[in-house]
Amino acid sequence: MGLLTLGSPLSWDETYPHIDYIKKHGIAQFIMLYHRLKGRQGDQLKWGDEIEYTIIKYDHEAKKVRVSNRAEELLNRLRAEEEVNAMVGTENRFLWRPEFAAYMVEGTPGVPYGGLMACFNVVESNMIRRRAEIVRLLKKDESVLSISFPSLGAPDFTVPKSVVTPEDPDGAGRSIFFPDDAIFGGHPRFKNLVKNIRGRRGEKVCINVPVFKDTNTPFPFLDKLPVPDVDAERNAKPDHIYMDHMGFGMGCCCLQVTFQAVNVEEARWLYDQLTPITPILLALSASTPIFKSYLADVDSRWDIISASVDDRTAEERGFVPLDKNKFVLNKSRYDSTDCYIYPCSVGYNDIPLEFDKKIYQQLREGDIDEPLAKHIAHMFIRDPLQVYRERLEQDDSKSTEHFETIQSSNWMNMRFKPPPPDASEIGWRVEFRPTEVQLTDFENAAYCCFVVLLTRVIVSFRLTFLLPISKVTENMKRAQKRDAVLNGKFFFRRGLANCDTPPDMKKTANCKTPDNNDVVEMAIAEIINGDGHEFPGLVPLIRQFLDSADVDVDTRCTISQYLNFIQKRASGEIQTLAHWMREFVHNHSEYKQDSYVNDRIIYDLCKSMDDISKGISHCEKLLGCFRSKTEQLIPSAVRRAEESLIVGKALRKASAASKPSTNNTS
């Protein structure tokens, strides 16, 4: 979830006097890094997924399930093994990192996947073994699920039991529902973020999620407050589930994919092209219909996290006239991006951007081109929340820590990531961040492979999916609605468009200006599977790409299974987890049609999900009948064959390039 640095974190009041200094140096660091590394060429596609997991514990006698705050203990063991491997020179197959909550862990492959097509066949196997690695450390009655837990903040939702301390002046969150003990305690970052977000905002965060109104839901629905609380009395809205802690959002789990681009131009281009795809994936992966044990009227976590880290002051939210702050800001620091960053795309930037003129000037004087300067300056309207006393003074030519502290706490649907200052093997990268984590590794692998294959299609066919960026913001809203995948309509490009200009950052003259006739509203099924006349569909495009690629039989079979599955999710033949969970609750004998999902239902729900996730039972409604041919390793014959094809292609390209072009008459 961001930068993990060691040191003594500063409180908000201590940070305040250093803000301008940190921003100025953060920008200087970015400028130096950019110029030092902008010429990097030829990095190959490498990519990796991040899966966040929730550790749970069953009480089979009481028929209850709780989150288990044992992440720190498990991580200590996993990290110790990682270090031993590193010392003896054994490759780590997985890497484990802390996440926001004391009951969460995050796992990634130990080394990134490469550009070979055969890599798509090892992803799921890596995820399966990764999960097994954590499972072996669990105690009796514990389990690990890749879900956002539906009862966060409900009475007594953790083991060990922990109490809320809303009156404690030193408390991090001071929530009336979510105890600070449920925040990961093994690193100061997390509690400090909670505290500083509250400090900057000037009050607790406030999350109101529309409740799902069932036949017996009280009208109006007024959320129960366990103790009287001034903030709650002021902020809780009728007909909404009310929550007041960062953990309600950042304690949810997701699935992210980061990939390395060939160079900075390609990274910027892909950032833009994938931005309009993010709401589509959010709707298609919807998995979070229950919050604090109530059925919500949304299917995903997005707006909840957004509100859970919303550090804007009342002035910045537009409730009182500006005085101490400089801008009214429309979005939280966790939200969708407001601007494209590739020069050709600027015509589609129709959201007015707030940024500090001085910072923008610093970037422009540092020779950062206009679109990128605007993106960085706009991110830098957010203040640093994580500053370490010992690390204020830095060598801006070597460190990017001040830049990263702001970049890594701008949690947007996409992230453009410069290479680290000190690791030469990592290039310019882009992170795709909205996807809700799926219950099974088959699904998680399918979503990841889909996104990565889509990047290959975009790059190979130079497709463009750009929409006016305000339409992406609107699509993110639509994507969260209940059953958006079945009923929602999304702005999307009419027909297929490709960008015929070469990826030359300096040429923007030939770029098409947006035309309203290019944008239509489509259902997810039409976007994924095609609309039957103008738009061929993302999956058919991927298939077309695969037909021209050299893929071994097993990998092709696995990819087909993933794509068929995605197509059926899109068409509604297979349910999203959100839909399936709602149906489970509605069919449960203890459900009283009043939106409340009691302990027993949550217990049965988690057990059913656990059985599906472990493969003990198969749920066709959720998964269809697909099975991949995933393998632990790429067979060496396949690797050799693919590598020699790549070398052959490169040689043919090089020799073609060295011949005089026949069309060139000059």
| Binding site residues, ligand GLU, CB under 6 A | 1, 52, 250, 252-254, 301, 305, 411
Task: Write down the least CB distance from residue 270 to ligand GLU, Å.
Answer: 19
CA distance linking residue 97 with residue 92, whole number of Å: 13
CA distance linking residue 123 with residue 446, whole number of Å: 9
Which does residue 305 touch among ligand GLU, Mg ion, none (CB within 5 to 8 A, set by kind)?
A: ligand GLU
Task: Write down the least CB distance from residue 106 to Mg ion, Å.
Answer: 5
* Distances from the Cα of 45 to the Cα of 256, 421, 544, 600, angstroms: 16, 20, 20, 47
Give φ, ψ of 158 to 5 degrees. Answer: -120, 155
CA distance linking residue 190 with residue 251, whole number of Å: 11
Q: Of 25 and 433, which has the nearer Cβ to ligand GLU?
A: 433
Which does residue 411 touch among Mg ion, ligand GLU, none (CB within 5 to 8 A, set by kind)?
A: ligand GLU
Which does residue 368 touch among ligand GLU, Mg ion, none (CB within 5 to 8 A, set by kind)?
A: none
Q: Of 10 and 250, which has the nearer Cβ to ligand GLU?
A: 250
Q: Of 96 and 269, which has the nearer Cβ to Mg ion?
A: 96
Which does residue 240 touch among Mg ion, ligand GLU, none (CB within 5 to 8 A, set by kind)?
A: none
Q: Tell me if 286 sits within 8 A of 462, measured CB to CB.
A: no
CB under 8 A, 24+ apart: contacts of 454-458: 454/274, 454/277, 454/538, 454/542, 455/45, 455/259, 455/270, 455/274, 456/45, 456/545, 456/549, 457/538, 457/541, 457/542, 457/544, 457/545, 458/270, 458/273, 458/274
Which does residue 252 touch among Mg ion, ligand GLU, none (CB within 5 to 8 A, set by kind)?
A: ligand GLU
Task: Write down the least CB distance from residue 52 to Mg ion, Å.
Answer: 5
- Site for Mg ion contains 270 (CB under 5 A): no
Task: Write down the least CB distance from residue 310 to ligand GLU, Å.
Answer: 14
Q: Of 250 and 609, which has the nearer Cβ to ligand GLU?
A: 250
By Cβ distance, which residue is nearest to Mg ion?
A: 1
Task: Write down the least CB distance from residue 100 to Mg ion, Å.
Answer: 8
Q: Of 451 and 539, which has the nearer Cβ to ligand GLU?
A: 451
Closest to 28 measured CA to CA, from 306, 452, 362, 325: 362
Angle at 28 between CA 26 and CA 30, to 5 degrees: 70
List the x/- string, 87-106, binding to Mg ion by CB under 5 A. -------------------x
Which does residue 250 touch among Mg ion, ligand GLU, none (CB within 5 to 8 A, set by kind)?
A: ligand GLU
CA distance linking residue 649 with residue 321, whole number of Å: 62
What is the 3-class SS of 245-299, one letter each residue?
CCHHHHCCCEEEEEEECCCHHHHHHHHHHHHHHHHHHHHHCCCCCEECCEEECEC
- Site for Mg ion contains 1 (CB under 5 A): yes
What single DSSP character describes residue 228? -
Q: Of 64 and 415, which has the nearer Cβ to Mg ion?
A: 415
Task: Write down the least CB distance from residue 187 to Mg ion, Å.
Answer: 13
Task: Write down the least CB distance from residue 184 to Mg ion, Å.
Answer: 11
Closest to 100 measured CA to CA, from 311, 258, 207, 253: 253
Q: Of 252 and 459, which has the nearer Cβ to Mg ion?
A: 252
Strands 255-260 and 290-291: unpaired
Task: Write down the least CB distance from residue 195 to Mg ion, Å.
Answer: 20
Q: Of 106 and 441, which has the nearer Cβ to Mg ion?
A: 106
- Site for Mg ion contains 246 (CB under 5 A): no
H/E segment holding residue 66: strand 64-68
Q: Tell me if 347 sits within 8 A of 514, measured CB to CB.
A: yes
* Distances from the Cα of 292 to the Cα of 72, 113, 155, 235, 550, angstroms: 24, 37, 9, 17, 48
Task: Write down the least CB distance from residue 245 to ligand GLU, Å.
Answer: 14
* Distances from the Cα of 337 to the Cα of 278, 432, 529, 641, angstroms: 10, 12, 26, 41
Which does residue 82 touch among ligand GLU, Mg ion, none (CB within 5 to 8 A, set by kind)?
A: none
Q: Of 305 and 522, which has the nearer Cβ to ligand GLU?
A: 305
# chain residues binding Mg ion, by CB under 5 A: 2
Task: Write down the least CB distance from residue 448 to Mg ion, Å.
Answer: 14
- Site for Mg ion contains 71 (CB under 5 A): no
CA distance linking residue 638 with residue 644, whole number of Å: 10
List the x/- string, 104-123, binding to Mg ion by CB under 5 A. --x-----------------
Q: Of 308 and 628, which has the nearer Cβ to ligand GLU?
A: 308
Interaction site with Mg ion (CB under 5 A)? 1, 106
